[in-house]
Amino acid sequence: MIRAMAARSAIAPQKIAKPALFALLAWPAAEWAWNYIGGELFSPWRTLLQDSGLWAMRFIVLGLAVTPLRIATGIGWIQTTRRMVGLFAAFYTALHVFAWCRQYGYDWGFLLGEIAARFYLLIGLAATLLMVPLAATSTASSMRALGGARWRSLHRLVFPAALLAWWHYLLSRGVPPREVYVHAGLLALLLAMRMIVAWRRPSAGAMVGARGDER
């Protein structure tokens, strides 16, 4: 009886983990807003451009890690964090593009010329465009409207988007920082894991996918 009451009153771990994850994902943006309001940023738009790009890249990779983490740990609720991580990745990408437009004073002619002249910007744009339908159809109602199979096929766009974003990151710097290679290793590992799972358990993957919790 006491044990049953204790079990009922115990807080489910995701009730704490999900708000904590939200706070962690929002932290970089909150910190910039704080520093910006306090006038502490020497070059606000450049800082926002570089830092938001980095966090967008990190959260794209983190989003791809959710399903393998759920499979490796067997903790089902981990899967329910994927939409939050993906939407934060899209949010930081939007901030990144906004900072770029803002840095050059919304001079659209110049910005279009830059995209045409710099291959790494074209790749970044392609990655961003691939992420738009993913963010737009992230809700449960979109999943129902599209149907599980079509929704899953559409959401596989996250893989080319991640690879293009990484390529953009690699080319954006004359001398790529070490983190570029860390991301390369993580992406290779995560994509390999996805391929192994799909190859070994095609029917199990389809069953999980039918519940809408696996790409």
Please count the other Cβ atoms lying within 10 Å of the Cβ belonging to residue 46.
13
Minimum distance between the CB of residue 57 and ligand HEM, rounded to whole angstroms? 4
Whether the CB-CB separation of 41 and 35 falls below 8 Å is answered with yes
Quote the DSSP letter at residue 138.
-
Whether the CB-CB separation of 161 and 134 falls below 8 Å is answered with yes
Cα–Cα distance measured from residue 17 to residue 73, given in angstroms and rounded to the nearest whole number = 15
Of residues 132-191, those binding ligand HEM (CB under 6 A): 165, 168-169, 172-173
Total site size for ligand HEM, rule CB under 6 A: 24
Of residues 87-126, those binding ligand HEM (CB under 6 A): 93, 96-97, 100, 115, 121, 124-125
**Contact residues for 18 (Cβ-Cβ < 8 A; gap 6+):** 80, 81, 84
Q: Is 37 exposed, middle or buried (0-12, 13-18, 19+ CB in 10 A)?
A: exposed
Out of 95, 128, 208, 214, point to the residue binding ligand HEM (CB under 6 A): 128
Site membership for ligand HEM, residue 64 (CB under 6 A): no
Minimum distance between the CB of residue 165 and ligand HEM, rounded to whole angstroms? 4
Site membership for ligand HEM, residue 29 (CB under 6 A): no
Minimum distance between the CB of residue 156 and ligand HEM, rounded to whole angstroms? 16
Please count the other Cβ atoms lying within 10 Å of the Cβ belonging to residue 115.
13
Cα–Cα distance measured from residue 114 to residue 59, given in angstroms and rounded to the nearest whole number = 26
Give helix 158-172 / helix 178-200 axis angle, nearest 10°. Answer: 160
Minimum distance between the CB of residue 211 and ligand HEM, rounded to whole angstroms? 28
Nearer to ligand HEM, 171 or 206 (CB): 171
Out of 14, 35, 47, 50, point to the residue binding ligand HEM (CB under 6 A): 50
Q: Which of these segments, 16-24, 127-135, 147-155, 185-193, binds ligand HEM (CB under 6 A)?
A: 127-135
Residues in touch with ligand HEM (CB under 6 A): 46, 49-50, 53-54, 56-57, 60, 93, 96-97, 100, 115, 121, 124-125, 127-128, 131, 165, 168-169, 172-173
